[in-house]
Amino acid sequence: MRIVMMGTGTFAEPTFESLLNANEQVVGLVTQPERGTGRKGGSTRQTGVGMAAIAQAHNVPVIQPESINSPEGVTLLKAFEPDLLVVAAYGQILSNEVIAVPKLGAINVHASLLPKYRGASPIAHAILSGETVTGVTIIRITLGLDAGEMLDRAEVEILTEETTGELEARIAPIGANLALSVIERMKKGPIEGIQQDPMGVTKAPKIKKEHGLIDWSKTADDIVRQVRAFQPWPTAYTFFHRPEKEPIRVIIYRAEAQKLEGERQTHQQGAIVTGKEPPLVATPESGLLLIHELQPAGKKRMTAEEFLRGYPIQDGFRFGPEKLS
């Protein structure tokens, strides 16, 4: 079976490597073009060894069209004469022309328990939504966004403090093993899948940089999930305000919610206070947020204790948007 791999980033790498290690006939790789630092339109996916580097090490031809759906992209794909496309986090929705190229169609390794979290950022949205379980689903690719029939799936528990990057790294090899299993079944003949329940569909649209800005009117639990969901990108951030000084952009890396037992929150949303013990405590109206690690602009990542040594908290210090209302 002639296989073309399509993918970008660390979620795709284990699937590609598994295909190669299993001595499958991988005849080509389609991956996103290399992006210069700061260039718009580049992939926001985590990068590890690099898909192109893996392909080069195994003498697999690589194409990196701006759009695989363009006439040029389709022509390049046809040259591989594939029987099957194996897709993982490629970053482009495939057209009918692309899906029609391989004799056996295309399968996708998707990082959620479909029909939940269709879209570009399923792991981040699962964490944001407070899910305790997610997983990987192998689907047959159709024109609908992640709407194809399910060929296999596996559930994975989301750990309490796990970030998107950590969870992605943990479930990517599971997806790779599922893909190999599905391919083995396909070699024996046509396989039937299970249709997704349209009533269970939820969306997971692409995360954007501006989504990282913390809204201090949200609950402490919501903000903790945002901090976890937006690592390693775009990171959850806020601005540190001191009277008569310019605001400082601060990335929050690790935090936890603290419940108020029988107490009424009296601090202004985003106000910063110090308790009897560190770490730094930021106080949304609905509760307390204990910040353990953060990074002011131009500084290294540091603990709350280190931050407090550099910026001893005074009345009027608070977190909020760059421009306070």
How far apart are the two ends of the chain, measured CA to CA in Å?
61
Predicted confidence at residue 41, as pLDDT, reads 39
Residue 323: Cβ within 10 Å count: 8
For residue 80, give the nearest of 189, 13, 6, 182 by alpha carbon: 6
Task: Check whether residue 100 and residue 137 sit in a common domain.
Answer: yes
Task: Check whether residue 193 and residue 219 sit in a common domain.
Answer: no
Task: Check whether residue 28 and residue 139 sit in a common domain.
Answer: yes
Report if pTM > 0.85.
yes
If one counts the domains in the chain, the total is 2
Cα-trace Rg, the chain: 23
Task: Check whether residue 235 and residue 310 sit in a common domain.
Answer: yes
Predicted confidence at residue 234, as pLDDT, reads 96
Domain termination residue (choose one: 200, 224, 257): 200
CATH number at 313 reads 3.10.25.10
Task: Check whether residue 29 and residue 175 sit in a common domain.
Answer: yes
Task: Check whether residue 43 and residue 89 sit in a common domain.
Answer: yes
Three-state DSSP state, 78: helix
Predicted confidence at residue 313, as pLDDT, reads 86
CATH number at 14 reads 3.40.50.170
**Residue 72, domain extent:** 2-200
For residue 237, give the nearest of 226, 225, 221, 222 by alpha carbon: 226
Cα 216 to chain centroid, rounded: 23
Task: Check whether residue 176 and residue 225 sit in a common domain.
Answer: no
Spatial distance between the Cα atoms of 257 and 252, rounded to a whole number of angstroms: 13
Q: Which amino acid is at 284?
A: P
Domain termination residue (choose one: 200, 232, 255): 200
What's the token pair of residue 56? 């080069």
10-residue stretch averages of pLDDT, the chain, 325 residues long: 96 97 97 65 58 97 97 98 98 96 98 98 98 98 96 97 97 98 96 97 96 94 97 97 95 89 69 71 77 96 93 90 89
Cα→Cα distances 198→132, 133, 149, 259, 267, Å:
22, 20, 11, 37, 44
Task: Check whether residue 74 and residue 113 sit in a common domain.
Answer: yes
Predicted confidence at residue 40, as pLDDT, reads 40
DSSP 208-238: -GGGGB--TTS-HHHHHHHHHHTTTTT-EEE
Domain termination residue (choose one: 152, 168, 200): 200
Does residue 325 belong to any structural domain of this protein?
Answer: no
Task: Check whether residue 188 and residue 216 sit in a common domain.
Answer: no
